[in-house]
Structure 1
Amino acid sequence: MMNREQLVEQFAQLISFVEGLRELDEETWTAPIEPGKWTTRDVVAHIMLWDQYFLEEAIGKIAAHQPLTVKHLNFDEFNNNAVVYAKTKEKPEIIDLTIRYRAAILEHLRQLTDDEWTEVHQDGEGHPFAVDHYVPDFIAHDEHHIKQLQAFLGIYLR
């Protein structure tokens, strides 16, 4: 079981991974990672938009001591919208936004007290939301997608 600092560091690893994608040529960036699957661009935009959503609707609200507005969304609809969005942006912008949103979440996480880290909040629908559950869930989400991209790009874990 990782402690809080280890979780935050693990959550930060997405930034260096995404930073490394700047070197990809456009053809690789926009090629499906498997037949009928998303492209690297789609995966990165998907992660970025989830980070934006949780920053604006949950983590930023917790940091500002405001009520949470995060809700259980239709994942398929959200993810499909991310793919559409990705097609409207250039690679540097998607990468920059991904790093900006993750860095902003990390800044908030690092400033939380231990009590705030474990406090159970009510989300916008009255369901429980706690940072100490959100972070491990999204580390697992990151790892799932990073492994997919590493397999596609031929990059292996260090």
Structure 2
Amino acid sequence: MSTIAEVSADLEKWTVFLSDLSPYSDELLCKPIEGKWSIQDIISHILGWDKSLTKTLIQIINNEQVALQEHLDVQAFNDASVAFGRNMKPHDLLNEAIAQRKRMIRKLEMVSESAFVRQFLNSPYTMEYFLQQIFVQHDRHHKEQIMKVLPAID
């Protein structure tokens, strides 16, 4: 089992990775990967999840009732997140994604350890499991996806 500090450190790795992308051109960041999402789209996709979880964390901090779960229509949520990012300049999106992830981590660090490890009502998850499986693993998946194409299209 992980602590809030350990998960926060894992989540922070995404901001470091995003910072490392800043030297790349807008053209490269907007180029589709294997005919699908671009790097910009992936970043925007994760930004959407970060915004959503930040709202949930605020509810938890305020002792409000919360259902810890994935969105009911993941595809629609992802599509909206990607569309949001496409309306931004890629480097502005990088900066926004870094700032949002840092906000999310600050909110996470305000959650009690007991709330972090307890099973949420009407949810199959604890916060610790949700963050490890839905966020940290998700970050790693997309980082690997991006890293595979950077040298190839750079």
What are the superposed Cα offsets for residues 53-104 of structure 1, whole Å, 9 maximum, x if unpaired? Answer: 1111x11211222222666321111112222222211123311221122111
Does residue 19 (structure 1) correspond to residue 19 (structure 2)? The answer is yes
- The percent of aligned pairs where both chains have the same amino acid is 21
Q: Which residue of 1 aligns with 2:62?
A: 64
**Matches of residues 1-158 of structure 1 in structure 2 within 5 Å?**
2-34=2-34, 36-56=35-55, 58-68=56-66, 72-122=71-121, 126-137=122-133, 138-154=135-151
Counterpart amino acid of residue 95 in structure 1: L
What are the superposed Cα offsets for residues 24-65 of structure 1, whole Å, 9 maximum, x if unpaired? Answer: 10110110122x211000000000011001111x11211222
Q: 2:67, 2:114 → 1: CA distance?
A: 20
Counterpart amino acid of residue 64 in structure 2: Q
**Per-residue deviation at 1:113?**
2.5
Q: 1:98, 1:70 → 2: CA distance?
A: 22
Query: Which of structure 1's runs of 4+ aligned residues deviate more than 6 A?
Result: none
TM-score by length of structure 2 reads: 0.86
Q: 1:95, 1:70 → 2: CA distance?
A: 27
TM-score by length of structure 1 reads: 0.84
**Per-residue deviation at 1:120?**
2.3
Aligned-residue RMSD, C-alpha:
2.1
Counterpart amino acid of residue 6 in structure 1: E
**Which has the higher relative contact order, 1 or 2, with Cα contacts under 8 A spaced 6 or more apart?**
2
70-79 vs 83-92, which deviates more? 70-79
Distance 1:109 1:43, change over 3 A: same
Report if aligned partners of 1:54, 1:70 keep a CA contact under 8 Å in 2.
no
Counterpart amino acid of residue 144 in structure 1: H
Counterpart amino acid of residue 147 in structure 1: E
Q: 2:4, 2:87 → 1: CA distance?
A: 37
Counterpart amino acid of residue 131 in structure 1: M
Unaligned stretches of 5+ in structure 1?
Answer: none
Unaligned stretches of 5+ in structure 2?
Answer: none
Q: 1:83, 1:151 → 2: CA distance?
A: 21
